[in-house]
Chains A and B, each alone.
Chain A
Amino acid sequence: MAEQTASTKKVKFIITRQDSPESAPYAEEFELPYRPGMNVISALMEIQRNPQNAKGEKVAPVCWESNCLEEVCGACSMVINGKPRQACAALVDKLEQPIRVQPMRTFPVVRDLVIDRSRMFNALKRVKAWIPIDGTYDLGPGPRMAEKKRQWAYELSKCMTCGVCLEACPNVNDKSDFIGPAAISQVRLFNAHPTGEMNADERLDALMDDGGIEGCGNSQNCVRSCPKGIPLTTSIAEINKQTTKHLFKKWLSV
């Protein structure tokens, strides 16, 4: 009896699919039995179990990526009802139906909802988003970080490289080489660290080049979209300040 009532209610999905990186995208509809508390990932799992579209045809199951299922890894970012977000945290009960699911097209689409976020990891390498502590001998403990600073820096460290801010940014596209908000915020994080600060100029130099911080157009969609609530626009403005200072220091010291 309980099963019967559960299967009468249906959830409709319209998923943008793509068979290969080069092939054309197409929309496919799916109708799934509603289950209380289901989210977009559990719906995709349901499609995987029974890969049948709304017309009843057997199709290849929809591909997607996910890991943590608790909105901390950033792997399952996709565009759900027009907004980029994590599929694992997108509860069906809170979504308008039909639920439209699309890949984040700012990134190259590998297949269906799977995208290639390599550019974000390359950006982190470019700005040296780490603290070099390796040496040939023990360098000893670094300087202490003030607790007050640690508290806001911790917020910046929540970035999971999910790509939502890049998807929301009108200046991250194929006509521009803008690095995107995430990496700029990481520069602020590592430049705030007492040991990381020792390499602050290298990170600023990396952003003061083509496709660096100059690409920001102040639409501020990033800060409104970040699932971790990271103050991205404050980070960008702070790095604007640091690069401006660095610019004048460089000019006046030669």
Chain B
Amino acid sequence: MNGYYSRKLHSLLGVIPLGLFFIEHALTNFGAFEGGLARFNAGVKLINDLPLLWLLEWGLIYLPLIYHGVFGLYIAYQAKPNNGRFQYSRNWRYLFQRITGVITFVYIIWHVYETRIQLALGNITHEQLGSTMHDIFVQPGLFILYLIGVVSASFHFANGLWSFFVSWGITVGPRAQRVSSYICMTLFVLVSVMLVLSMIAFRGAEFQEATAWLDTVKSVLS
């Protein structure tokens, strides 16, 4: 494919559908902070009750994610950062966009393995997602790795949105680009805070009890 189209597709997929899914995911997680286990499980159920779920997952998440991720690694490889010589904030964000992209790529593989793949393998159920996350977040080391992952993903999303507006010719002049960067950086902070609060919420005893309760059920049944 011609480089222009492949790059344009990469840019589009980053926002639609991936950016939208990212926001949706952050909101579902935030349910854990706002309303605890019940609210989080209701969010999970809402998604799982969608018709043609497999098609939505593949068409709106997995395929766009694989394309955006793999092509993004190539874009990162092509860069030759010169931040030592040009210490401008936009140039730093150019570098961070690539670094956070690579971090997010690795992080998502890990995160999907621990959640969606475990579900597919039948090791956990949808109702156990909350307790699975609880078990991860109570370990300080893993909590910090997740923290790096979600903050990177949030920055990559928000700053990528800024670039998207430039790359599609929506924000043209310097003032429009400045205002858009204020909005996008606010979005970065907002989504990061939401995700970190959800992570803290998952550490709560309520999510642990779910496993304890399930363990009791399991032991009774066996």
Chain A residues within 8 Å of B, Cβ to Cβ: 82-83, 168, 170-171, 173, 175-176, 207-221, 224-225, 231, 233-234, 236-245, 247
Contact = CB atoms under 8 A, between A and B. Distances in A.
B79 interface: yes
B54 interface: no
Binding site of B, secondary structure by majority: helix, strand, loop or mixed?
A: helix
B115 interface: no
Contact of A219 (B91, B169, B171, B172): B91
| A-B interface, 3 closest residue pairs, ranked by CB to CB distance from nearest | A241-B169, A219-B94, A214-B7
Interface in B153-188: 162-163, 166-174, 177
8 contacts: A170-B81, A175-B80, A208-B2, A214-B6, A219-B90, A234-B172, A240-B172, A241-B170
A211 B169 CA distance: 18
Contact of B85 (A82, A207, A210, A242): A82
Contacts of B88: 219-221, 224
Interface in B54-83: 75, 77-82
B169 A238 contact: yes
A14 to B, nearest CB: 16
Contacts of B163: 218
B6 to A, nearest CB: 8
Contacts of A225: 86
Nearest to A224: B88
A210 B167 contact: no
Contacts of B6: 214
Contacts of A218: 90, 94, 162-163, 166-167
Interface centre among A214, A243, A245 (most CB of B within 10 A): A214
Nearest to B92: A219
Contacts of A210: 2-4
A170 B87 CA distance: 12
Contacts of B94: 170, 217-220
Nearest to A218: B163
B25 interface: no
A214 B8 contact: yes
Interface in B77-130: 77-82, 84-86, 88, 90-91, 94-95, 97
Most chain B CB inside 10 Å of its own CB: which residue of A218, A240, A242, A247: A218
A13 to B, nearest CB: 19
A121 to B, nearest CB: 22
A221 B78 contact: no
Contacts of A208: 2, 4
Contacts of B2: 208-210
B214 to A, nearest CB: 48
B4 A173 contact: no
A221 B82 contact: yes
A173 B81 CA distance: 10
A233 B4 contact: no
Contacts of B4: 207-210, 212-214, 243
Given A215-B7, A218-B167, A241-B169, 6 more contacts: A82-B85, A171-B80, A176-B78, A212-B3, A220-B94, A247-B8
